[in-house]
Amino acid sequence: MSEHTDPLLTPDDQPIASPQGRELVLISGISGSGKSVALHALEDVGYFCVDNLPPELLRNYMQLQHPRYVERVAIAVDARAARSLPALVPLIDELRREGVRIRPLFLDANTDTLVRRFSETRRPHPLSHPTQTNESVQHALIEAIELERLLLAELREVSTVIDTSTLRPAGLRAQVRNLLSAPHDRLTLVFESFAFKYGVPLDADYVFDVRMLPNPYYVRELRPLSGRDAPVAKFLSEQPEADEMLAQIEAFLRRWLPSLATDQRAYVTVAIGCTGGQHRSVYIVEQLAKRFAGHGATLIRHREMDAID
């Protein structure tokens, strides 16, 4: 465990206090998905950060009182604390009932991306074991990743998921900051465009396919543009199918948002997919964000375009 502490304090100097009213960002996820990047992003904006805290120490840690980190704390946990993970989900509920404002963030990435990242860094997976041949190393790594997914499945279910498969570090830092800037007491809607040819986002709560809409890609002057550009928006706004699609997605969300808001959900990610993630899905996301602007906190992501930027 690594911790950024005040060197002038000893354990005896730190009194115990009620954790009520404090904000805790609990960062977890699959190894190699960017937890360290997320933790550093929070440290940069004033959170007191602790990496790899054993879950059984979480309650005691939140009772520590010191002006430098009494209000906002970010703690990262991972599968190295596998034996303690089953107790973490009920502990989150207990701390919430005691008044702690907990925002669990779960970072994930597809297996191919994780294998590539481990190969590039040449670091072993925390759950892997020493092996002899390159083939067995690859096999052991994939097995370790799948085991970790199993161990963290329950924690993932109660967390806001961020898919880092196509994110650069700067993009991940921006997403973490954007999520935490949203009001804590209101359900935040995240609208995300993506390309089906690169896979469905792992962080999607709802996925809508808009590939059946007329495609601006086949209009030569619109091809280099995106759904954020006025000519593409004009083209799609004139298509009855696009308007009908927007109305149906809007009606679905408005019907079920009240139920989601009462289910202790902090974020709902609505993913809109087309073929290339450039025209139709981007346009639909932009329009949905406008229609739900009065709902409260809304965030926009364009996965393929953000990856290029």
Q: In the numeric block, which tokens belong to residue 303?
A: 């996965």
Question: pLDDT (tens digit, 9 = 90+) per residue, 216-256?
Answer: 999 999 999 999 999 999 999 999 999 999 999 999 999 99
CA distance 96 to 23: 10
CA distance 303 to 250: 21
Identify the CATH class of 2-181: alpha beta
What is the pLDDT, as a whole number, of residue 249? 97
Does 99 or 193 have the greater pLDDT score? 193
What is the pLDDT, as a whole number, of residue 2? 46
Q: By 3-state DSSP, what share of the chain in percent is helix, strand and coil, each rounded to 5? A: 45, 20, 35
Enter the pTM of the model: 0.77
Domain boundaries, the chain: 2-181, 188-308
Question: pLDDT (tens digit, 9 = 90+) per residue, 1-60?
Answer: 444 444 333 344 443 344 556 789 999 999 999 999 999 999 998 888 999 888 888 888
**Burial grade of 117 (CB within 10 A; 0-12, 13-18, 19 or more):** middle
Compute the residue count for the chain. Answer: 309
Please say if the pLDDT value at position 80 is more than 90.
no
